[in-house]
């Protein structure tokens, strides 16, 4: 190339080319669509090469341009297909080698073409084109042209070398996008197939699931039986399972049930809490590391993926991993291949992935906090663990199970009274099974006698810390949507009692004058005043104390409904304590609450 020999070559060109390749590599590792990615690549290439115009063409299976990107913003989306001569594209794709034309004006490929008419007159313009190869097959072209003048100092062979490197990177990106698209289509089909099987199950009445392989899960409610049936179906394949549910619902136990009911039951079951591991450690924890790969790596370490080979890997709190590690995790989930930290050998494992999260991943994807491609990869079979408030029939079974475990661990012999079990069964437990277990262990530890009675419970004593924690949510009373209809995590809300006792009519009231005849009988005076208040509420009349001088009950100017709510708020909605504060009996305050249509707030 005699013309290029006259141009002074500067070593600074190498630095510019290296910087350009670095910027392009960052773009290609992003999570954008392929057309946007190629557009960003040609834009960066234009700024680094001082080229006049450049085009990227990605071809489909029939050799037709599928995606085009241009450095000229004024060029139409299909401008590259109409401007570039077909002979040029065919030559590059057919030969699979770069095409260099020193002067476009004198080359027959461009004679009479639209591309030729865009060139400035009396100016020498060179054309460079390289093939974009995927698995050794030309699947696109990358072309630029360079305008000669006295200000530019470049060599065509250096430009070809840089364009070839960029084309190789683009080819790898195209291959990865094709694999992801193919895998996504396959996973969607698999999901539809499994959903169809689950739909067939819903048409039949729930039947008790054989508990031989999941007897460690306590519960006989319809929600648990339905979930175990779905686990038994999903466990038959190797499809990735995503467990979703509120914190404390026992997602780890259900993950183990999937493993125990799967063909991999004889393999290892490895657990990883992604939220408990910092970003600097999680890569080494999952993939392992080689000796000397970083400070403190004195020995080779086997990662969790290798330990779980042939079995199941449970990734708990997967929604908490950082964005940078999501890309690394996507590859091993996609290909089943990874390298240890500091290693060069590619390892391949056969692992069934079960993930769990209590986050709303759809919102995280919309915000850009969670990669969409990783979301599609793990969201194959979704199972929602029901909160404890949707399975009230299991509360007593779980409470007895936790008490038996505590007794075995501490060598004691405790049992619940019927009244204590009734109080526990009527609690909402916003923290779900975990909060119930803590409540049982705390009560058993502080219990005085062999039998745990209602006075041993923290809520009965007015010192339940959970009631204080969830007090701000008590104004949200409503029915939660079914987990399958709404996969997002519902807010913690107070629930009404599942079985409200039948209304009991008040006993016949004694004459008011008799109740207040003996001022020393404080209880009788307070009870008479309360009965008079209930009678006034029944008739829709304001309550006025018959003998305010002898009545021990404070009578503010508030309505009866306001007084009841205020007393219950002061006592943490414990009816017995509120009754003592108002000078009523538990029977009377229960009747008053039903009469005023006040929902009981539970913690």
Pick among 2.30.40.10, 3.50.50.60, 3.40.309.10, 3.40.50.300: CATH of 205-386:
3.40.50.300
Give the integer Cα–Cα distance in Å for 34 and 32.
6
Q: Do 298 and 256 contact (CB within 8 A), yes or no? A: no
CB 68 within 8 Å of CB 57 = yes
Q: What is 2-179's CATH number?
A: 3.30.450.40
Three-class SS string for 349-396? CCCEEEEEECCCHHHHHHHCCCCHHHHHHHCCEEEECCCHHHCHHHHH
> How distant, in Å, are the alpha carbons of 13, 17, 121, 124, 156 from that of 150?
16, 20, 16, 11, 15
Burial 127-154 (b: 16+ CB within 10 A, else e): bbbbbbbbeeebbbbbbbbbbbeeeeeb
- Evaluate if residue 4 carries a pLDDT over 80: no
**How is domain 389-473 classified at the CATH fold level?**
Helicase, Ruva Protein; domain 3 (1.10.8)
Q: What's the pLDDT score for residue 104?
A: 83
Contact 406, 441 (CB under 8 A): yes
* Euclidean distance between CA atoms 413 and 444, whole angstroms: 10
Q: Do domains 2-179 and 389-473 have the same CATH topology?
A: no
pLDDT at residue 202, rounded to an integer = 60
Question: pLDDT digits over 224-264, tens only?
Answer: 999 999 999 999 888 999 999 998 898 999 999 999 999 99
Long-range contacts of 504-507 (CB under 8 A, 24+ apart): 504/587, 504/590, 504/591, 505/591, 506/531, 506/534, 506/535, 506/587, 506/588, 506/591
The residue ranges of every structural domain in the chain are: 2-179, 205-386, 389-473, 512-595
Confidence bin at 77 (pLDDT 50/70/90): low
| Least confident stretch, 217-226, 419-428, 572-581 | 572-581
Tokens of 401: 């199970």
Please give the pLDDT value at position 269. 93
Q: Answer yes or no: CATH 1.10.10 is held by domain 512-595.
A: yes
Containing H/E element for 127? Answer: strand 125-134
């Amino acid at each position: 190339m005699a013309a290029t020999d006259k141009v002074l070559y500067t070593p600074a060109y190498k630095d510019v080319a290296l910087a350009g390749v670095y910027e392009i590599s960052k773009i290609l590792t992003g999570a954008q669509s392929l057309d946007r990615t190629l557009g960003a690549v040609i834009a960066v290439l234009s700024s680094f090469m001082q080229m006049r115009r450049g085009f990227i063409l990605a071809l489909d299976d029939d050799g037709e341009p599928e995606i085009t990107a241009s450095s000229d913003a004024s060029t139409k989306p299909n401008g590259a297909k109409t401007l570039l001569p077909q002979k040029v594209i065919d030559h590059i794709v057919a030969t699979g080698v770069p095409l260099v034309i020193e002067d476009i004006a004198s080359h027959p490929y461009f004679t009479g073409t639209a591309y030729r008419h865009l060139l400035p007159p009396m100016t020498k313009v060179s054309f460079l084109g390289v093939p974009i190869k995927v698995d050794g097959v030309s699947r696109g072209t990358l072309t630029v042209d360079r305008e000669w003048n006295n200000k530019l100092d470049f060599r065509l062979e250096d430009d070809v070398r840089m364009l070839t490197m960029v084309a190789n990177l683009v080819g790898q990106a195209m291959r990865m996008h094709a694999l992801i698209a193919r895998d996504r289509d396959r996973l969607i089909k698999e999901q539809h197939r499994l959903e169809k099987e689950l739909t067939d199950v819903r048409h039949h009445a729930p039947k008790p699931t054989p508990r031989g392989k999941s007897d460690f899960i306590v519960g006989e409610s319809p929600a648990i039986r339905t979930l175990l049936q779905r686990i038994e179906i999903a466990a038959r394949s190797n499809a990735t399972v995503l467990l979703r549910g509120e914190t404390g619902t026992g997602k780890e136990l259900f993950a183990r049930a999937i493993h125990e009911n799967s063909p991999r039951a004889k393999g290892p079951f490895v657990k990883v809490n992604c939220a408990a591991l910092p970003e600097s450690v999680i890569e080494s924890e999952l993939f392992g590391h080689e000796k000397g790969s970083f400070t403190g790596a004195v020995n080779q370490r086997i990662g969790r993926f290798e330990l779980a080979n042939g079995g199941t890997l449970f990734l708990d709190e997967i929604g908490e991993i950082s964005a940078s590690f999501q890309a690394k995790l996507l590859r091993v989930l996609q290909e089943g291949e990874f390298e240890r930290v500091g290693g060069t050998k590619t390892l391949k494992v056969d692992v069934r992935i079960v993930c769990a999260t209590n986050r709303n991943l759809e919102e995280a994807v919309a915000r850009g906090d969670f990669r969409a491609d990783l979301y599609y990869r793990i969201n194959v079979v979704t199972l929602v663990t029901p909160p404890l408030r949707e399975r009230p029939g299991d509360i007593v079974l779980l409470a007895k199970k936790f008490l038996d475990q505590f007794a075995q661990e501490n060598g004691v012999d405790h049992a619940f009274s019927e009244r204590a079990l009734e109080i526990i069964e009527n609690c909402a437990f916003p923290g779900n099974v975990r909060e119930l277990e803590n409540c049982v262990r705390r009560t058993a530890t502080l219990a005085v006698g062999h039998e745990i009675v209602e006075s041993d419970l923290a809520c009965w004593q007015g010192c339940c810390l959970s009631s204080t924690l969830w007090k701000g949510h008590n104004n949200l009373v409503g029915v939660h949507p079914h987990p399958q209809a709404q996969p997002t995590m519902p807010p913690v809300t107070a629930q009404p009692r599942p079985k409200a006792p039948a209304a009991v009519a008040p006993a016949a009231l004694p004459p008011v004058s008799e109740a207040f005849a003996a001022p020393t009988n404080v209880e009788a005076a307070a009870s008479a005043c309360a009965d008079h208040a209930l009678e006034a509420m029944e008739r829709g009349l304001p309550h006025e104390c018959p003998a305010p001088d002898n009545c021990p009950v404070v009578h503010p100017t508030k309505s009866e409904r306001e007084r009841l709510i205020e007393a219950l708020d002061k006592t943490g909605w414990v009816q017995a304590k509120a009754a003592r504060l108002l000078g009523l009996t538990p029977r009377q305050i229960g009747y008053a609450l039903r009469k005023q249509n006040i929902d009981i707030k539970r913690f």
